[in-house]
Amino acid sequence: MFPFDRIRVKLFGMSRQLAEHRIRTTCRELIANNGRVSGRALRRELRVRFGAVGKTARVFQIWREESVAKPPAPVIPGDMAEVQHRLQVAEAAMVENHARAERAEFREQAHQDRWAIEIDRLREQLRAQPQYAKQIRALQEQVFRLTAELQAARALLAQAE
């Protein structure tokens, strides 16, 4: 009975199992120390550490999984690190400026709403006065009368010329 997470290796006539976690740990250590590591280098290290290599297909499968799982971090030159830092500072400033603009927009909207409500209240208060309709009619009549007088004066002026 062979567990799926173990590899059987015959060494000096004895059957020896090389656990998957040992292969993975070794692979991770090699990647951490050397960056990229080949499958052959992994097999060499397994032979040095454990005296066994394991089945090639299984070791290479684990090696592929570990190599893909943790790609090495790109090496950033000093000037690129400065650019990256400046980018982070600029992004933080952008977020702060955006929040400030939103607060200003909210304050402006609240200001506009307040004065619109105040103007509406004053209009309603004016309309509620008992003499309001009478005053409006008197003013409209005066405007009509003055408009008629103005037209008559212009007609007389046009005839005089």
Instruction: Report DSSP letters for 32-65, one per residue.
Output: HHHSS--HHHHHHHHHHHHS----HHHHHHHHHH
List Cα–Cα distances, 159 to 15, 36, 132, 154, in angstroms: 131, 105, 41, 9
For residues 46-59, average pLDDT: 83
Q: Supply 2's token pair.
A: 């062979």
- At 69 the pLDDT is 60
Q: Specify burial of residue 39 (Cβ count, 10 A radius: 0-12, 13-18, 19+).
A: middle
pLDDT exceeds 60 at position 4: no
Query: Which of the four pLDDT bands, split at 50, 70 and 90, describes residue 15?
Result: very low
- At 76 the pLDDT is 63
Q: Which of 109, 112, 89 is nearest to 101 (CA)?
A: 109
Rounded distance between C-alpha atoms, residue 38 and residue 93, angstroms: 44
Residue 10 phi, psi (nearest 5): -90, 125
For residues 113-124, average pLDDT: 94
pLDDT exceeds 70 at position 17: no
DSSP conformation class of 8 = E
- At 2 the pLDDT is 46
pLDDT exceeds 60 at position 41: yes
pTM for this model (two decimals): 0.35
Q: Which residues contact residue 67 at a Cβ distance below 8 angstroms, ignoring those fewer than 6 apart?
A: 27, 31, 36, 37
- H or E stretch at 103: helix 78-127
**Cα 32–Cα 27–Cα 1 angle in degrees, nearest 5:** 155
- At 5 the pLDDT is 44
